[in-house]
A and B are shown apart, each in its own frame.
Chain A
Amino acid sequence: MSEAVLSPVAETPVSREESAAISPRRLIWLRFRRHRLAYASGIFLLLLYIVSGFCEFVSPYGTTTRNDDAINAPPMSVHFFDAEGNFHLRPFVYAYRMEVNEDTWMREYSEDTTRMFPIRFFARGESYEMWNLFESDVHLFTTDEGGYIHLFGTDQLGRDMFSRVFYGGRISLSIGLVGVVLTIVLGILLGGIAGYLGGIADRVVNKAIEVLTCLPALPLWMALSAALPVHWSPLLVYFGISIILSLFGWTGLARQVRGRFLSLREEEFVMAARLIGADTPRVIRKHMLPSFSSHIIATATLAVPGMILGETALSFLGIGLRPPVVSWGVLMFQAQNPLVIEMTPWQMLPGLFVVLAVMAFNLLGDGLRDAADPYSTAGAK
């Protein structure tokens, strides 16, 4: 046993004596740190959540601000050297020069090297209301009055894609978390009931899990979200969608919780707690749950991608969130037409963010799952 305890920290700069006193939580952390890809994914996600959380400040414009000089304009590139080759310490962008192609009647944009807009950091721009709490007009970056900056280009109404992507990220990323919290509640409740009580309760929950896992999720999600009343406010629809997503997502977690309960029920420490006179809720809360909470976190992390993909798919079909709400799925809805993608490929950028976020969650979840059991050697590679 002592070998197994020590092996995960063998490569970390912790001596033998110290490691004996390390708490399980610290062991998990040390073990997780060694999964470099998972660790990097975690940091990437943290950054993404921070940026989306502060999207009013990070993005130069609001979601509905239109720039009539830039309709369907491509992403701008940031320059340090101007057209004459002079170096500028302050990065700048060039204005768009728009021409209408005589053959296709499409707007075509190029850089107008005679007009440059220096990028100002922490400068004043469009005013916004931060988290509906206080007003401000300081942005992470913007240009001087009269200039504009569109790092990810603009859409067909001249709205800044960069701003819209991060505003959308706030909705899409948080709907995953809200959905997962509901999933955890449902999963622990139902899995716990099944595993702890056994008997008929176990069989009913098991049947429910079996039925739900063999149903194709998307068609049912479609049916449920089409049933959301049209007159609902965006906030209600938001919670409606997260409830719908978690209604089918709890099965994996419940199955795991059930298995843990079944095996823990027979353990000596649970028996001991019960003999001392602890009642059932206390045994579950104080003795059983802590021993597999790390597994719950890992499984929950692996459930987030499904939620994000679900929201994206539903909104993409036009039956999830709807404009004026901006989410990655809503943004992709605009890019449904192959012709739109052909003319303005940068409208696919929200999709890239979906892929990155989902990939990071998958990697993070894999790493957490391996680290969740610090006393095993199975995950240590």
Chain B
Amino acid sequence: MRSYLLSRLLGMIPTLAVISVIIFVVIQLPPGDIVTSMLDRLQAQGVDTTEEYVQNLRAQYNLDKPMVLQYFYWAGNLLTGDMGYSHLYSRPVNDLLWERLGYTLSITVSALFFTWLVALPIGIYSAIRQYSIGDYILTTIALVGLATPPFLVALVFMHIGFDWFGVSTGGLFSPEYEDAPWSWARIADLLAHIWLPMIIIGLGSAAFTMRILRANLLDELNKPYVVTARAKGVGHAKLIIKYPVRIAINPFISTIGFVLPSLISGEAIVSLVMGLPTIGPLLLQALLNQDMFLAGSLLMWLAILTVVGILLSDILLAWIDPRIRFE
């Protein structure tokens, strides 16, 4: 187990390195650079700039150096935890990021648990009652859930909330707790708001996971060991839970690799629709205003979240299924 852990941890390093290169290339793509957009901003405010000032500024951001060196400066700063300065918000990127990363993380993780919580019982039910009315209804809902983009679900939910309850269902806090310091009441308020985005984001993944669980369980149900157990007189519920479900549940963890990126994507767009204070809306603003330091750090952190999540799922899988760690 220890050697498996070590190899997986070491394998993460090149992955993150490649990702950082990709992200660096992506944020270099738009025409102009951070200094030109800063100068545009200054000019709009009517501030005159001298050639010397511009040169100094370019030197300060290492823009006078070759591209490869620029990457290493950027990556080096990331490693030391200095993510630069957002000129859009006139604040260090660190501050902006830490404010929001927690919300992104908690929404995504709770959506993941929601996915499992819903997919497990429904998947089992659909498999053991294959072709029953309940199975048909649930599979149909899953098909629709799989095909509906999260932002559309968010719009529908907000429409329902507005229409039926007369409340606007955006945000993560009630107005009175928006800027309040952390307290138990504020946490309770957060919990009272977080369930809706959690359901909206988790819906598609729940449908996906449920379909996989159903298919796997159907394969397992006809295997000889199940027949044997049944012939020996093991009770129905106990049999299902104890043998085939335990095997069919493996993809739950192994599909985190697919589910987590899609949850994070979904979270970004749902947050925009519902006005949640997470990374998604910040990223859109950063991209629209070409605040590339900010955009790069946000993209990097979303990627880190996913890679670490997948790593955790691999470790979990190895812990549950010994065949994997001895491979």
B199 sits at the interface (CB 8 A): no
Tell which of B112-120, B301-309, B318-326 binds the partner.
B301-309
B148 engages A215 (CB within 8 Å): no
Known: A338-B168, A341-B158. A220 touches B144 (CB 8 A): no
| A residues near B265, Cβ cutoff 8 Å | 216-219
For A208, A218, A219, A336, which residue has the most chain B Cβ atoms within 10 angstroms?
A: A219
Q: How far is the CB of B34 from chain A (nearest CB, A)?
A: 14
B148 engages A336 (CB within 8 Å): no
Q: How far is the CB of B64 from chain A (nearest CB, A)?
A: 23
Q: How far is the CB of A318 from chain B (nearest CB, A)?
A: 8
Complex CA distance for A227 and B290, rounded to whole angstroms: 9
Complex CA distance for A297 and B60, rounded to whole angstroms: 52
In the complex, what residue of chain A is closest to B292 when comparing beta carbons?
Answer: A223
For B19, B261, B269, B295, which residue has the most chain A Cβ atoms within 10 angstroms?
A: B261
Q: How far is the CB of A218 from chain B (nearest CB, A)?
A: 3
In the complex, what residue of chain B is closest to A360 when comparing beta carbons?
Answer: B147
B257 engages A214 (CB within 8 Å): yes
Known: A214-B310, A332-B152, A363-B143. A222 touches B284 (CB 8 A): yes
Chain B window 130-168, contacts with chain A (Cβ cutoff 8 Å), 1 for yes, 0 for no: 000000000000011011110110011011001100001
For A214, A216, A309, which residue has the most chain B Cβ atoms within 10 angstroms?
A: A216
A210 engages B15 (CB within 8 Å): yes
Q: How far is the CB of B125 from chain A (nearest CB, A)?
A: 19
Known: A214-B306, A217-B265, A335-B155. A358 touches B147 (CB 8 A): yes
B31 engages A362 (CB within 8 Å): no
Chain A contacts with B in 345-371, Cβ cutoff 8 A: 345, 348, 351, 354-356, 358-359, 362-363
B15 engages A213 (CB within 8 Å): no
Chain A window 201-236, contacts with chain B (Cβ cutoff 8 Å), 1 for yes, 0 for no: 000000110110111111110111011010000000
| B residues near A359, Cβ cutoff 8 Å | 143-144, 146-147
Q: How many residues of A contact B (CB 8 A)?
A: 41
Complex CA distance for A316 and B151, rounded to whole angstroms: 9
Complex CA distance for A342 and B26, rounded to whole angstroms: 38
A-B pair count, CB < 8 Å, reads: 134
A317 engages B149 (CB within 8 Å): no
> Which of under 10, 10 to 19, 20 to 34, or 35 or more describes the interface residues of B?
35 or more
Known: A217-B265, A342-B162. A222 touches B287 (CB 8 A): yes
| B residues near A319, Cβ cutoff 8 Å | 284, 287-288
Chain B contacts with A in 165-180, Cβ cutoff 8 A: 168, 170
B258 engages A224 (CB within 8 Å): no
A305 sits at the interface (CB 8 A): yes
Complex CA distance for A210 and B159, rounded to whole angstroms: 39
Q: How far is the CB of A148 from chain B (nearest CB, A)?
A: 27
| A residues near B262, Cβ cutoff 8 Å | 216-217
| A residues near B257, Cβ cutoff 8 Å | 213-214
B269 engages A226 (CB within 8 Å): no
Of A222, A305, A313, A342, which contacts B151 at CB under 8 A?
A: A313
Complex CA distance for A317 and B285, rounded to whole angstroms: 11
Known: A313-B149, A359-B144, A362-B147. A219 touches B283 (CB 8 A): yes
Complex CA distance for A332 and B147, rounded to whole angstroms: 16
Chain A window 282-321, contacts with chain B (Cβ cutoff 8 Å), 1 for yes, 0 for no: 0000000000000000000000010001001100110100
| A residues near B148, Cβ cutoff 8 Å | 355, 358
Q: How far is the CB of A230 from chain B (nearest CB, A)?
A: 9
Complex CA distance for A52 and B155, rounded to whole angstroms: 26
Complex CA distance for A348 and B110, rounded to whole angstroms: 28
Beyond A220-B22, A355-B147, 11 additional contacts (C-beta under 8 Å) are: A208-B18, A215-B19, A215-B306, A217-B262, A219-B265, A317-B284, A336-B273, A348-B155, A354-B149, A358-B147, A359-B147
For this complex, 9 residue pairs linking A to B, each with C-beta atoms less than 8 Å apart, are A207-B15, A210-B15, A220-B299, A226-B287, A227-B29, A354-B152, A355-B148, A355-B149, A362-B147
Listed from nearest, the 5 A-B pairs whose CB atoms lie closest are A218-B265, A226-B287, A227-B29, A359-B147, A358-B147
